[in-house]
């Protein structure tokens, strides 16, 4: 029996109640979209970042990322390990020298000839990559370009700090933008790539490096090579692509757990509001359900009517929540991009999960009220009210 028109009628006739319930669900789904959007962004960010690094072994100083201690000579040592196709160092400095360097743009020193190995399939949307011989030239990531309104030919001021005895000397130089990268949803969006040699000089770091990439030869097991590099070169720590992925997944899992559980909690509260509404609606319509049974309605007819109603409210709430969340994320990303960052990603997966969850929530919340309505004895129901 197709009773969708009856379901629709009941939902639309009780506008205030439906509106409030749908709003409750929509809020929950909005929370799922926003929190989930954040999770999606971070997992995409990590995934894409890992994809770009999946063919390399990541080498950091044994004392940690910020401990310093990698020098040029180590690159040669790594390169000499059998199975290493190539190795090169990078210098990684925060763009804003006053910041902690955890967020925002980074200045990355890369040897021009190693750019393609590092950037892989990332496209240049404007201009070109660095070429050997370039000096105060830079290639910028999409978020950097957006934040500072940079186009090819524009100048970008980069500062470095030097501590000399009791004073700090800040040097500022203008770098000409020669290229801009596409949006990748990875750390590359935050990069200002400058020539490595110049970077060392500019930051007065002599032969220091932040980390080293080692590219294994074809057919060489990266795990095994990673261990051999760690054993063969002193004072370093290596991370194979698998280890990087594992670490990243663990971090993401914790983050997803926090964001998703907060969002699910919000959505469950929305679900309880549907249950409350439906219980009220069923008790108000006791006589109506009794009458339907007296007319020969089957238990499944009543179940379908009541659960259909709550499912419809769930779907409505879901659609509104998804739309609201997507609009919020769109404007939020737009706003954040002007500050050089992006925090959310709306994916079809997120939208589908949100809609399925909203429908599920609506339907499940309707089970108890529907059961109550369906089990009503017509005689008692007709006497009621």
Which stretches of the chain bind other proteins, using CB under 8 A?
1-3, 6, 9-10, 13, 287-288, 291-299, 301, 377-379, 382
Nearer to other proteins, 2 or 167 (CB): 2
Name the token pair of 111: 């040897």
Task: With beta carbons less than 8 A apart as the criterion, state whether 211 and 108 touch.
Answer: no
Instruction: Report the 10 Å Cβ neighbour count for 137.
Output: 21
Task: With beta carbons less than 8 A apart as the criterion, state whether 2 and 301 touch.
Answer: no
Nearer to other proteins, 189 or 301 (CB): 301
Nearer to other proteins, 1 or 352 (CB): 1
Alpha-carbon distance 59 to 225, whole Å? 12
Nearer to other proteins, 105 or 374 (CB): 374
Write down the least CB distance from residue 26 to other proteins, Å.
24
Nearer to other proteins, 122 or 370 (CB): 370
SS3 content of the chain, % helix, strand, coil (to 5): 55, 20, 25
| 279 to 233, 272, 310, 344, 381: CA distances (angstroms) | 70, 10, 10, 37, 15
Write down the least CB distance from residue 304 to other proteins, Å.
11
Write down the least CB distance from residue 145 to other proteins, Å.
58
Write down the least CB distance from residue 290 to other proteins, Å.
8
Instruction: Note the helical H segments in 88-130.
Output: 115-119
Alpha-carbon distance 349 to 362, whole Å? 20
Nearer to other proteins, 220 or 299 (CB): 299
Alpha-carbon distance 301 to 298, whole Å? 5
Alpha-carbon distance 360 to 151, whole Å? 48
Write down the least CB distance from residue 279 to other proteins, Å.
18
Write down the least CB distance from residue 288 to other proteins, Å.
6
Nearer to other proteins, 283 or 333 (CB): 283
Among 305, 278, 224, 274, smallest CA distance to 29 is for 274
Write down the least CB distance from residue 1 to other proteins, Å.
6
Alpha-carbon distance 167 to 136, whole Å? 26
CA torsion sign for 230, 233, 234, 235 is: negative
Among 314, 313, 325, smallest CA distance to 359 is for 314
Write down the least CB distance from residue 5 to other proteins, Å.
9
Nearer to other proteins, 356 or 379 (CB): 379
Nearer to other proteins, 80 or 300 (CB): 300
Write down the least CB distance from residue 10 to other proteins, Å.
6
Residues in the chain: 385
Instruction: Report the 10 Å Cβ neighbour count for 226.
Output: 24
Name the token pair of 307: 């659960």
């Amino acid at each position: 029996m197709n009773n969708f028109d009856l379901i629709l009628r009941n939902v639309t006739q009780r506008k205030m109640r439906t509106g409030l319930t749908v709003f409750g669900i929509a809020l929950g789904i909005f929370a799922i979209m926003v929190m989930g959007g954040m999770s999606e962004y971070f997992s995409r960010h990590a995934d894409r970042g890992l994809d770009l690094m999946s063919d390399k072994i990541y080498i950091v100083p044994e004392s940690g990322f910020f401990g310093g201690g990698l020098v040029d000579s180590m690159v040669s040592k790594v390169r000499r390990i059998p199975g290493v196709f190539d190795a090169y160092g990078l210098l990684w400095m925060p763009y804003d020298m006053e910041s902690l360097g955890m967020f925002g743009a980074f200045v990355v020193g890369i040897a021009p000839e190693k750019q393609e190995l590092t950037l892989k399939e990332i496209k240049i949307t404007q201009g070109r990559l660095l070429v050997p011989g370039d000096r105060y030239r830079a290639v910028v990531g999409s978020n950097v370009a957006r934040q500072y309104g940079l186009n090819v030919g524009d100048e970008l001021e980069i500062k470095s700090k030097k501590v000399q005895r009791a004073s700090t000397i800040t040097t500022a130089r203008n770098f000409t933008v020669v290229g801009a990268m596409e949006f990748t949803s990875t750390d590359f969006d935050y990069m200002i790539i400058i020539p490595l040699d110049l970077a060392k000089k500019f930051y007065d770091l002599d032969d220091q490096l932040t980390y080293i990439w080692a590219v294994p030869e074809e057919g060489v097991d990266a795990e095994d090579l990673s261990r051999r590099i760690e054993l063969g070169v002193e004072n370093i720590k290596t991370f194979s692509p698998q280890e990087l992925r594992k670490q990243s997944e663990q971090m993401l899992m914790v983050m997803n757990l926090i964001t998703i559980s907060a969002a699910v909690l919000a959505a469950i509260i929305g679900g309880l509001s549907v249950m409350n509404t439906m219980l009220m609606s069923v008790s108000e319509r006791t006589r109506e359900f009794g009458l339907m049974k007296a007319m020969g309605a089957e238990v499944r007819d009543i179940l379908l009517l009541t659960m259909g109603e709550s499912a419809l409210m769930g779907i409505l709430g879901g659609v509104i929540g998804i739309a609201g969340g997507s609009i919020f994320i769109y404007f939020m990303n737009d706003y954040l991009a002007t500050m050089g960052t992006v925090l959310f990603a709306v994916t079809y997966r997120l939208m589908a999960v949100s809609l399925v969850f909203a429908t599920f929530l609506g339907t499940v919340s309707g089970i108890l009220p529907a059961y109550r309505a369906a089990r009503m004895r017509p005689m008692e129901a007709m006497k009621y009210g």
